[in-house]
Amino acid sequence: MIIRARRINPDDAERLRAVRLAALADAPMSFWQTLAGESARPSADWRAHALRNSAGDTHATFLLERDDPAGYDPERDDGPMGMVDVYQPSLAPEFRELAALWVAPAIRGTGAADTLLDTAVGWARTAGAIGVRLWVVPTNTAAVRIYTRHGFTLAGGPEPDMDDPAGKVYVPMLLMLDSDESARG
């Protein structure tokens, strides 16, 4: 199976919800949000998220799916495969922040995470960002390895999420983008 990442469409709200809930069910300690909290979000929230992240250069969501020249076929839906969100942080608008990267267990190790990262970083360059930041659970060594392989470096020490009763801890990572490449898009 060949996979690709594509930017979300305004009508992808249900697919977005399905992949996000699959991610939270699979790896609850890797994300700020919880399965219970995201499951309770109304349909209007998912529609608004899909609409906002489908265009522009401040927010984007990319979905991982089968690469089929004929397009998406609901009869052959492989289920949630993966996603990544990228957004412009309000306190550092010259950057983009990567969040919610997840790949389904069945396709891990196939390059799917690389596809999502390459797509997200490419979008950040096109949007004119000078760098991409992210937060990762330091015990998620597979994620840290992938980010490091893509040029991200640690940008600080572990920081606890003070709002999380589970006591999750994250470390910041940073990828500075070549200003010449950013300008070229």
Could you list the pLDDT tens digit for every one of the 185 residues in the chain? Answer: 678 999 999 999 999 999 999 999 999 989 989 999 999 999 999 999 999 999 999 999 999 998 765 555 555 556 789 999 999 999 999 999 999 999 999 999 999 999 999 999 999 999 999 999 999 999 999 999 999 999 999 999 988 877 766 778 999 999 999 855 444 44
CB-count exposure of residue 145 (10 Å: 0-12, 13-18, 19+): exposed
The alpha-helical segments, DSSP class H, found in 43-103 are 43-52
CA–chain centroid gap for 159, Å, is 20
- Give the residue numbers spanning the domain of 173: 3-184
Is the Cβ–Cβ distance between 1 and 66 less than 8 Å?
A: yes
Q: How many domains would you assign to the chain? A: 1
Residue 22, domain CATH: 3.40.630.30
What is the value of pTM for the model shown?
0.89
Is the Cβ–Cβ distance between 60 and 123 less than 8 Å?
A: yes
